[in-house]
Amino acid sequence: MTGELIVPGYFFGGYALAFGLLWIAAWAERRSAVLAAVFHTLCGITVSLTTLYWFSASVAVHPLAWYGVPLVVAALLAWRGWHQQRWVTRVDSTGEPSFGFLPRHGLAVPRDHPDPWPSRATVEFTHHGHRLLGIEYSTESPYRDENFRRKSKLAEALGSICSVVELRIPNVPALTISPKTKAFASDHFTPLEDMRITRNQFSWLRPDTTLHEFEVDPEFDRRFSVYTSDPEFAREMLTGEVRELILNDRWFRVHQVAFREDAIWTTDTGGLTEDRMFDNSRKLAMLAAAVPSAIWEKWAGDRRFRSAATSADTRYDAWIGKRGGFIRTPLNRRRDARDRQPVTSVSLTARTLTALALIVIGVGPAGNSIAVLTGLAPQVQATVSRVSEGGTRHCVTTSGGMSCTADRAEVDGTYEHDGSTREITADWSQNDLPTRGAVVDIAVGPFWGHPGYQVGSAFAAVDLLGALIWLVPGLLLIKRTYFPSVPRRVRKRRETLAKV
């Protein structure tokens, strides 16, 4: 059975409008929380209606869904906005930075700098013995000059809200470690990682001091760029243990890290969410614990920091606690053990809803087709009431030209079931169409929709392939989200270490 064709302009236009509303909401956040909430809600409603329109091309969408789904999405967005605004008050926050650096024109400047960018939100607190600082800021600065205007507009178009997470350390020279794109080519194809690296580079805060490139070893240099104000410090800092952590932890594959004076920090394009604050600070704490005590003693004169850093419990459950809820906490623990990035509440919700939608679209047609192909579908004798030869072409314009489909031949019939007369429509071979009034055998799909098929025809196999286009991606998305496997390159590394 075939569904209605969608109009590409409505489909792509709906998602384009949603993107525009989301961009306006991000712009409005700097001016009015109420205005931002309105545009976020409109964005959610637009996405919902466009997605329902997309699904209606394959399945019958209940009329209540056109009202209920947008309202549910809007409610979820409102709840998330409220939750995001309240999480800062749940930690022991001072509100003003007591260490670290502030953003200005893509640089991390000292707290006493006379002209830093204004921050959108600041949170500082102590966690497992570490002092942590988070700052949310915008790349649109009231202090920008004409030379910076063009770069600023580009940054705003790509995402103007950014965040930096900092961890307090003893004073050390400046050192930056940045992942390279296409570092695994041609053995591995990593477009999503490369996209995240590129995206985070727009918010990357570099130390406002002179840095020189530093070469470590061929393998490390192939995947990361290192710059430092003191080559001797970089040589002693990047020990085998530190390099092993950076090379093998997937988080470092998409995040730049910087040391300078009393802070380690990393930046992201996007707001300072609770997940981002705790996930990023955990990785920074793990890096600090990997640095030998001799480094802190020699360069900072601090003999106690190493002990404090190694005693901090950086296991996922201990560091994150129950913030992820009863579903996300065990899920992210599993993902962390298998070297996969943790999922946020928004990401998990979006993945789950998308996967379920794909599965719902595909499971019914797939089950009906399989039942017909295996002979498990019930067969009835129906009296033909109408015959359609099909062949009507439906064409739409796509980027590749005209795309056309033709209707299948169909027969409408009636049959008796449990003392009542039921109607059914069945796909039929165009060369074997029965006459009106004839009695024919029809296989009836056992699941919702109950489509009819000509017994012995190939239409059930064709519909099964069409259903798998929806079902397989949905199942794969569920597996990759909830039951991820260890990445292939990690398996290879573990196998290599096992042979040593």
The pLDDT tens digits of the residues spanning 44-98 come to 778 777 777 766 655 555 666 666 666 776 676 666 666 666 677 777 666 678 8
Residue-level pLDDT at 156? 46
* In a shared domain, residues 61 and 78: yes
User: What is the pLDDT at residue 154?
Assistant: 44
**Residue 26 pLDDT class (50, 70, 90 cuts):** low
Choose the weakest-confidence range: 147-156, 290-299, 402-411, 480-489.
147-156
User: In 202-253, which ranges are continuous DSSP H helix?
Assistant: 218-223, 231-237, 240-248
Residues 381, 234 share a domain: no
| Same domain? 292 vs 190 | yes
Q: Which amino acid is at 418?
A: D
Reported confidence tier of residue 21, pLDDT bands at 50, 70, 90 = confident
Sign of the C-alpha dihedral, residues 490, 491, 496, 500? positive
Q: Would 215 be classed as within a structural domain?
A: yes
Long-range pairs of 76-83 with CB within 8 A, sequence gap ≥ 24: 76/44, 76/349, 77/40, 77/41, 77/43, 77/44, 78/37, 78/40, 78/41, 80/345, 80/346, 81/36, 81/37, 81/40
Domain count for the chain, please give it: 3
Shared domain for 211 and 257, answered yes or no, is yes
Task: Please compute, for residue 266, the number of CA atoms within 13 A of its CA located in the half-sphere on the CB side.
Answer: 25
Q: Is the separation of the CB atoms in 467 and 365 below 8 Å?
A: yes
* Same domain? 146 vs 259: yes
Whether residue 112 lies inside any domain: the answer is yes
Banded pLDDT at 157 (limits 50, 70, 90): very low
158, 289: one domain: yes
User: Could you say which of 69, 86, 103 is where a domain stops?
Assistant: 86
Beta bridge partners of 413: 384, 424
| Residue ending a domain, choose from 86, 113, 139 | 86
Whose tokens are 């739409």? That residue is: 396
Kindly report whether the peptide bond that precedes residue 186 is cis, defined as omega within 30 degrees of 0.
Answer: yes
Provide the pLDDT for residue 120. 78
pLDDT at 271: 80
Q: Which of 158-167, 254-263, 273-282, 367-376 has the lowest mean pLDDT?
A: 158-167
Residue 491 lies in a domain: no
- Give the pLDDT confidence of 299-322 residue by residue, as tens digits: 988 888 988 999 999 988 888 887
Residue 39 neighbours by CB under 8 Å, 6+ apart: 21, 22, 24, 25, 28
Backbone φ and ψ for 102, nearest 5 degrees, come out as -115, 155
The first and second tokens of residue 268, run together, are 């992201």
Model-level pTM?
0.70
Do 138 and 193 fall into the same domain? Answer: yes
Q: Does residue 199 carry a pLDDT above 90?
A: no
- pLDDT mean across residues, the chain: 81
Check: CB of residue 424 under 8 Å from CB of residue 35.
Answer: no
Task: Tell me if 436 is assigned to some domain.
Answer: yes
Domain contains 471: yes
In a shared domain, residues 50 and 31: yes
Domain range spanning residue 60?
Answer: 8-86
Residue 226: pLDDT over 50: yes
Q: Residue 12: its pLDDT value, please? A: 67
**Residue with the two structure tokens 């439906």:** 394
User: Which of 102-106, 200-204, 319-323, 491-495 has the weakest average pLDDT?
Assistant: 491-495
Asked which of 213-217, 307-311, 390-394 is least confident by mean pLDDT, the reply is 390-394
Residue 134 and residue 69 share a domain: no
Quote the tokens at residue 109: 């400047």
**395 touches 385 (CB < 8 A):** no
Question: Is 376 in the same domain as 476?
Answer: yes
Would strands 420-428 and 452-454 be described as parallel, antiparallel, or unpaired? Answer: parallel
Inside any domain, residue 331: no
Give a yes or no: residue 276 inside a domain: yes
Could you tell me if 60 and 199 lie in one domain? no
Residues 110 and 239 grouped into a single domain: yes
| Residue 193, both tokens | 């990682």
In a domain, 63, yes or no: yes
Tokens encoding 54: 């997309």
Cβ–Cβ under 8 Å, residues 426 and 442: yes
